Amino acid sequence: MPSPKAPVFLSIKNFERFQHYKTRNPPWIRLYYAILDDPAFLALDEVSQCRLMKLFLIASKQSNAIPNDPAYISKMLRLNCEVDLTPLINSGFVLATRKQRASNAQAKPSLISDSSEADTSEGEKSAPADPLYPDELKTKTNGHATPEILPSGFEEFWIAYPNKTGKVAAVKAWKKCKHKPPLETILSSITTAKQSRKWKDDGGRFIPNPATWLNEGRWDDKPPEIPKPERRLVL
């Protein structure tokens, strides 16, 4: 039996902001690619990273209130040994609470750590920065930062485009382009342009901003002239 002040539930930080299930019990979760760029996640060892992914799945089944019972957690993770979640708690990904979170998405339960009697707002202020999504793509809703989910295909475009300037503007431009060609056509156009002299000269100085490229429909541009390799006479 845990002591009266011992945390009896574990929860994933900011889980409700990213997993919008309402009342259903999903067989899947949302996992954002941007977590691979998060320093706090990268600082974890691979075992802890893997366990965090499994905890996402368990949290989706438990309304983000995982019983803080080592035997139960080991069983749910399909492990035959006791699980050490200290790295995940220390990194801020997993929170300890003495009050089970309400399943209602609009409820504002209080999160209390093992060493603090602070309420939810104070706990959030002292917690690490949001580890699941880059700050530049957050919008304000009722005073809280919420993620703006990237539209389909944009992540592939952003990875392929060499001038990574103004991501927020690029997302808006991508959404505004209702009659874009297939993603494969856009990526092919970028690949061809990368080989052009204009995009290579002066360290890529003349590559347009991604939002400009999208707004002007530059995928329809005439394929740029690709410089031919010089032929040298062998004497």
Band (pLDDT 50/70/90 cuts) for residue 105 is very low
Is the CB of residue 145 less than 8 Å from the CB of residue 13? no
Residues 68, 158: one domain? no
Residues 6+ apart with CB under 8 A from 90: none
Q: Kindly report the number of other CB atoms within 10 A of residue 94's CB atom.
A: 22
99, pLDDT greater than 90? no
Percent of the chain with pLDDT over 90: 17
**pLDDT tens digit sequence for 204-217:** 888 999 999 999 99
Q: Name the domain count of the chain.
A: 2
Single residue among 129, 147, 165 that ends a domain in this structure: 147
Alpha helices, DSSP H, located in the chain: 15-18, 39-42, 46-61, 70-76, 86-91, 120-126, 154-160, 167-176, 183-194, 197-200, 210-215
Q: Kindly report the number of other CB atoms within 10 A of residue 101's CB atom.
A: 22
CA 169 – CA 138 distance, rounded (Å): 13
What would the two tokens of residue 11 be? 């929860």
Residues 77, 189: one domain? no
What is the domain extent for residue 170?
Answer: 154-220
91, pLDDT greater than 70? yes
**pLDDT tens digit sequence for 146-201:** 445 678 888 889 989 999 889 899 999 999 988 899 999 999 999 999 888 888 88
Q: Note if the pTM is more than 0.85.
A: no
Per DSSP, the three-state class of 48 is helix
Residues 165, 120: one domain? no
Residues 126, 44: one domain? yes
127-135: average pLDDT: 44
